[in-house]
Structure 1
Amino acid sequence: MVDSFHSTITSYPGGTTLSAANTIQPLTLEEISEHVRTHIGQWLAEESLAKPPAVYEIELRERMIRLEEELKNQRELIKQGFDLMEKRFEAVDRRFEAMSAENNKRFEAMSAENNQRFEAMSAENNKRFEAMDKRFEAMSAENNKRFEAMDRRFEAMSAENNRRFEALTKRIDRLMYWSLGITMGTGSLVVAALKVLL
């Protein structure tokens, strides 16, 4: 393979030659690859397939500079975007704070109004309960008077009944005495009549 390479490739662009006549001994693959690596840039530059290393380095630096500028622009745009987002978040925070303050004011107003309503309702209920208490007290006093009158009537009825029972008891006692006297008198008359007749 090395012999065929020697026989086919004998000249290169730019006057560089590589043949068996230039060497005393056959070339190895390492020597050939080293020779190609050494001269490839020059050969490609001469054939307009690549640019010289200096030009390539300049273009590479220009590209790097453009890339850095583009990255810088991107950073600035990203920073602007973040700044705008931060401003928007601040505006949203301010809106929430304003809404919170407004809601607090509304709740305070509602709380004050509810407190006034509850106080008015409590005062009205207190008045109603006081009126009910007065009515119950009046009813209780009236009932007490009625019960006292009923007690007096029952006491009077009880005293009257006691007098009547006492009078009835006396009449019954007198009746018993008379009955006993009559019975004894009749008995003694019967006994006396029997004694006389017998």
Structure 2
Amino acid sequence: MALAKEDIAFIKEHLGEWLVEVSLGKPPAVYEIELRERMVRVEEELKHQRELMRQGFEQVERRFEQADKRFEQIDKRFEQVERRFEQVDRRFDEMIKRNDRHFLWLIGFITTIAALIIAAGKLL
């Protein structure tokens, strides 16, 4: 069953009055003052919530900054480790070159000794 336009108009006209009656029979002025007080309290609470959210975001931002600093420190440590590995690589390269020279000298020495032994064997 649908409402007629007249019924809807009647309801719209009297809705405010009915709401006032339901709010314990308080006159419209008292009801309006209570609504304003409630609105002020809600606004204050919203302001407080915004402040708490801002503080929370600031803390999160500080934590991200600390994490960035830690990552920078880790990067520095990796750079130090990389430099050390480069130094070790240079030392190994130098050792290999030195060992190659020693090996060549050893081969030359063995060849010379062998040639002298063969020459001494032919002369004797």
**TM-score normalised to the size of structure 2?**
0.68
Structure whose alpha-carbon radius of gyration is higher: 1
1:75-114 alignment runs, 5 A limit:
75-94=54-73, 96-114=74-92
**Separation in 1 of the partners of 2:8 and 2:77?**
81
Write the deviation string for residues 25-64 of structure 1: whole angstroms up to 9, x where unpaired: xxx634542343141233134436xx71332133123212
Q: Which amino acid aligns with 2:102?
A: E
The 3 A distance-change label for structure 1 pair 133 and 62 is same
Q: Report the RMSD for the aligned CA atoms in angstroms.
A: 2.9
Question: Could you say which residue in structure 2 is the equivalent of 1:116?
Answer: 94
Identity of aligned residues (%): 8
**Separation in 2 of the partners of 1:64 and 1:104?**
58
Shift of 1:107: 1.0
**Separation in 1 of the partners of 2:38 and 2:109?**
105
**Separation in 1 of the partners of 2:53 and 2:8?**
48
Corresponding residue pairs, total = 115
Q: Which amino acid aligns with 2:92?
A: N
Is the CA contact 1:42–1:52 (under 8 Å) kept in the aligned structure 2? Answer: yes
- Runs of at least 5 residues in structure 2 that lack an aligned partner in the other structure: 1-5
- Runs of at least 5 residues in structure 1 that lack an aligned partner in the other structure: 1-27, 147-198
**Separation in 2 of the partners of 1:31 and 1:124?**
112
Shift of 1:88: 2.3
- Structure with the higher fraction of residues in helix conformation: 2
**Separation in 1 of the partners of 2:90 and 2:111?**
31
**TM-score normalised to the size of structure 1?**
0.47
